[in-house]
Amino acid sequence: MDENEERLGARAGHHATGSLGLRLETTRRNATHSEQTQKLKVLFMGRDEFSCLVLQELHKARDVWDELVIATNQDQRVGRRGGQLSVSPLKLMGEALGDIRLEFIPPTKVEFKKWKLPTPFESYACAADTANSTNPPPQSHVLVTASFGRILTRKHLAHFQPTRRLNVHPSLLPQYRGPAPIQHALLNGESETGVCVIEMLPSAKKASGSPLPPKAGIDAGDIWASKSLPQPGDARFNQMRDVLGREGGKLLVQVLRDMTKIAPVPQKVDESSEIRPAPMIELGDAHFDPKSFTAEEVYRRWRAIGHQRPITTFVEVASSDGSATKRAVQLHDLQVRLDMLDDALPLSPGSVICARPSNEPTKSLFIRCEDGGVISVRDIKPEGKPILDARSFWNGVQGKHKEVRFVGV
């Protein structure tokens, strides 16, 4: 855990706003003692480090469950010619814990739609009218997803009671519905974020050209519990993921312990509400044009998506004979620099110098942005080459060239 992460964790307890804040479910106040204390059989579906952190908290809560089954991705060959083996972090954690059964989902979405849930969950199903189901799922069977990456079909969900289908989502819903909530909260410079445990709804289809209604679709289910957390202005994705994963796991355990005494509440949405979506991060989201981005916007992008999509721009070098060449580069280790706004760096966006401030041990590139602000870059990766420190990169591109600047696509 680094310094920023420790600071986030320390502040989390002071900025939580009503981690359960939920109404009692009056229809369950007469639940029997055995119903309230019966341990659960949990099917946990996930794949990445966020889901691992949620699972860690659940695994420690031995008073909650007596059977815990993981469903995650198979090992897959990826990259050029299958040169790399992609292994689910959740699989590795399950193997390390040792007392959890591992099940693997098919590699393609088409096959996954036909996939049968593992026992004992496959043996039960809800009919359209749950009261008339011939073999309805017991209340002690619970489905939990956390950063799973697949959409569960109605047939999959039918193996659990509607109130026993839970998702741990790292945002303060209804804001940031979608697969990349942590990234988009960072991209938008939010000072507050959070995590929710929600009820999963079947996916909803929308008419062509029409948005889904605000209470339908993925991440639109009722909220069992939520917790708000501060998001520092210098936080990066990995730090927020780890804090939100741990807090989400604790919140999940709290819900599982109390779910016979509480009920979920609808997400607060009205037609006039502006719901910020959190769509998947695309390659183009990492493109940086100094003429179009402020220094703060570039810095946010690096903190939000630099771990998965390196910030990419082009360096243009002009020779004394008037010719110019342009090559793609990736930027690493960025900062907003308020100490480099003077005349040492030309004012036009894309202008760059290589310098070492007196209080720093190494040189950095300093790039002027659209708003006149400046970012520093310590490491650069030219296309097809290894990462270079700023000084080595600068010596390689400046040489006899008349001018070096950064430009968009």
pLDDT digits (tens, 9 = 90+) for 21-44: 332 232 233 343 334 468 999 999
- Lowest-confidence segment of 192-196, 249-253, 265-269 by average pLDDT: 265-269
pLDDT at 76 over 80: yes
Would you call 3 helix, strand, or coil by DSSP?
helix
> Among residues of the chain, what percentage have pLDDT more than 90?
70
pLDDT: which is higher, 2 or 14: 2
Would you call 126 helix, strand, or coil by DSSP?
coil
CA atoms within 13 A on the CB side of 335: 10
Q: Is the peptide bond before 179 cis (omega within 30 degrees of 0)?
A: no
Rounded Cα–Cα distance for residues 309 and 125 (Å): 41
Rounded Cα–Cα distance for residues 226 and 19 (Å): 5
Classify residue 140 as left (phi > 0), alpha (psi -120 to 50) or beta.
alpha
In single-letter form, the type of residue at position 53 comes to L
126-138 per-position pLDDT tens digit: 876 455 566 899 9
Predicted confidence at residue 352, as pLDDT, reads 94
Residue 20 near residue 258 (C-beta atoms within 8 A):
yes
Q: Is the dihedral of CA 94, 136, 146, 151 positive or negative?
A: positive
192-226 per-position pLDDT tens digit: 999 999 999 987 665 455 554 555 568 999 999 99
* Nearest by Cα to 126 from 166, 182, 164: 164
161-174 per-position pLDDT tens digit: 999 999 999 999 99
Rounded to 5°, angle at Cα 125 from 124 and 131: 115
Rounded Cα–Cα distance for residues 51 and 223 (Å): 19
Predicted confidence at residue 336, as pLDDT, reads 95
Structure tokens that stand for 183 in this block: 């990234």
Predicted confidence at residue 358, as pLDDT, reads 80
- Lowest-confidence segment of 31-35, 111-115, 185-189, 202-206 by average pLDDT: 31-35
Predicted confidence at residue 185, as pLDDT, reads 98
In single-letter form, the type of residue at position 393 comes to F
Predicted confidence at residue 203, as pLDDT, reads 77
> Among residues of the chain, what percentage have pLDDT more than 70?
85
The per-residue pLDDT of the chain, averaged, comes to: 86
Enumerate domains of the chain plus CATH numbers. Answer: 3-258 (3.40.50.170), 283-407 (3.10.25.10)
Rounded Cα–Cα distance for residues 195 and 56 (Å): 16
Rounded Cα–Cα distance for residues 371 and 368 (Å): 8
Distance between start and end Cα atoms, the chain: 37
pLDDT at 98 over 70: yes
Predicted confidence at residue 401, as pLDDT, reads 65
- Per-residue pLDDT averaged across 154-182, rounded? 96
User: What is the dihedral angle through the alpha carbons of 286, 292, 296, 299, rounded to the nearest 10 degrees?
Assistant: 20
Would you call 156 helix, strand, or coil by DSSP?
helix
Would you call 164 helix, strand, or coil by DSSP?
helix
In single-letter form, the type of residue at position 260 comes to T
- Per-residue pLDDT averaged across 107-120, rounded? 94
Cβ count within 10 A of residue 391: 16
Backbone angles phi, psi at 17, to 5 degrees: -120, 95
pLDDT at 99 over 70: yes
- Sequence-distant (6+) residues with CB within 8 A of 403 are 317, 318
Predicted confidence at residue 130, as pLDDT, reads 52
Structure tokens that stand for 304 in this block: 């939000």
Predicted confidence at residue 206, as pLDDT, reads 53
Q: Is the dihedral of CA 178, 182, 187, 193 positive or negative?
A: positive
Predicted confidence at residue 231, as pLDDT, reads 98
